A and B are shown apart, each in its own frame.
Chain A
Amino acid sequence: MFSSAEISMILEGLRDSLYMTVVSTLLGYLIGLPWGIVLTVSGKDGLKPNRGLYRILDIITNVMRSVPFLILLILIIPLTKLIVGQTYGATAMIVPLTVSAAPFIARMVESSLNEVDKGVIEASLSMGAGTLRIIFKVLIGEARVSLIAGATITVGTILGYSAMAGILGGGGLGDIAIRYGYYRYQANILWVTVILLILLMQIFQFIGTMISTKLDRRKK
């Protein structure tokens, strides 16, 4: 059904998709996690409310989130070129994917951390806990199930974006689907990439659910 060249190409695409998704998610969290923490802490009911700081971060988050991914990808081509040296291929795609994921992650983190019971935070304050300890031991510790659930959604979203990046030569399964399925009408390759993307999504979801269930101590 497939030539060996096609099989190795699909495998390479699979590897590239995984590579883009995982690395972009990690880099996204590197930026988005502290960003989300600052949003939570400086928010109106946060530990250290700071209206000015919150407003600025809030607006930046909203602006970045409103730009559709494909347009963002084009907009930041100069930045991609500056960082990676080229504008196509899997590694280059990590730049726009990360830039797009970070504000999304920040919002996910903010909403997870805001779910933490205010009473528990108050109890920690009454014990003399400082802001950093409350952030790391109380907010993140208590919200960990929700944070993992958010990360699972994030991975799925980035996987989807990485496939979209195929339109501009991004590499990975999306790229293959567009080049072979769309431009060359090779429906079999199109279907294989779609099935592989579905499988990837299922695996990520399965892993995410498993980790968050395992970490949750709130059940009897």
Chain B
Amino acid sequence: MSAIITVENLNKTFDTKDGSFEAIKGISLEIEAGDIYGIIGMSGAGKSTLVRCLNYLERPTSGRVLVEDKDLASLSEKELRRLRSSIGMIFQNFNLLMQKSVLANVIFPLRIAGVSKAEAKKRAKELLEVVGLPDKIHAYPAQLSGGQRQRVAIARALANNPKILLCDEATSALDPQTTESILQLLRKINQEMGVTIVIITHQMSVIREICNNVAIIEQGQLVENGLVKEIFEHPKSRAAKRLIIEGKDPDEWEKNNGQIGSKAMEYAPVDLLKEHRRIRIVFTTNSSYEPVIANMILKFKTPVNILKADTKNVGGTARGEMILGLPDDTTLQQQMIDYLQERKLEVEEVEEDV
């Protein structure tokens, strides 16, 4: 696989009334062709600016963006427009033409690309069938639900057979069930048409559900990136730990800053738990047959405290996660960790206040 999008040392500074504001600070990343790549961060982290730099809707202040090895900075206005028509984009608020029918909305990008009227109409009908709205072609966006509108937007974004689909908070305005169905549609598009998908979101569930790779953005900087399942098993940065161990979406970070009690901790006196050494273990499908924790307790004849236990869907497979408070004896602690690691469990030290 080769990189379809390469971002090199990207910076974007906005001039505002109160001086300049650095939205993106030196971000570099590579997105492989055929990947579903997630970019997560809280609102204002710069992720929307980052995705707009990928098709030059925003021009970076410095750094390079390469799409299929072409440096976007070297393209003329006309070449840039042609490139944009081969990159699909969908948005949080769908951004459909409200005065045009569903069919006309999908025809629009085809006409921009110079497709004849009759051909565009035929293609638009096919696309609306792909997204599951063949009976809505003559409806107007105002008559559709949020999920249906996003489907129209997806059909529109796919009109010119793009190799890349950029999704800017595409599910943020939708309820969980609709989000699920839109994500399934995106996965289908990725698998059947081989479209590389870049997803901007502030919802960890979206990343877990369909992304293979993820980049975590905090205050304009890339703090961690890599395979979702690896980051899920070994989150390194503070931001990743918050996302994964605490299960908090970025927008909840601020609110809970400095507070010790999160859901898992509400059940026990905080001071008591803080003294314990705590570890997080992740079960994969093959490790969940044996009752590991029960066996461990039987073996060492010492109880451990289960502080949190959960199952999460990561890239289509169920992952169990558990946070354990270990007994005070340090040798016993090490023995327990060894015992768990022998059983192929991912063990992660938890230092933060969970």
Contact = CB atoms under 8 A, between A and B. Distances in A.
A68 interface: no
B84 A218 contact: no
Interface residues of A, number: 25
Contacts of B140: 217-218
B159 to A, nearest CB: 8
A127 B108 contact: yes
A131 B188 CA distance: 34
A119 interface: yes
Contacts of A127: 84-85, 89, 108-109, 112, 156
B143 A220 contact: yes
Contact of B108 (A137, A145, A215): A137
A123 B96 CA distance: 8
A138 B112 contact: no
Interface stretch (B97-105, B224-232, B236-244, B325-333): B97-105
A218 B143 CA distance: 8
B196 interface: no
B99 A141 contact: yes
Contact of B97 (A133, A142, A219): A142
Nearest to B83: A128
Contacts of A141: 97, 99-100
B309 interface: no
Interface string A183-216: 0000000000000000000000000000000011
Given A128-B83, A128-B113, A217 B91 contact: no
B100 to A, nearest CB: 7
Interface string A114-157: 00010110111111111001000110011011000000000000
A126 B140 CA distance: 22
Contact of B100 (A117, A125, A128, A217): A217
B112 A218 contact: no
A122 B99 contact: no
Contact of A126 (B57, B100, B113, B142): B57
Interface in B128-171: 140, 142-143, 153, 156, 166
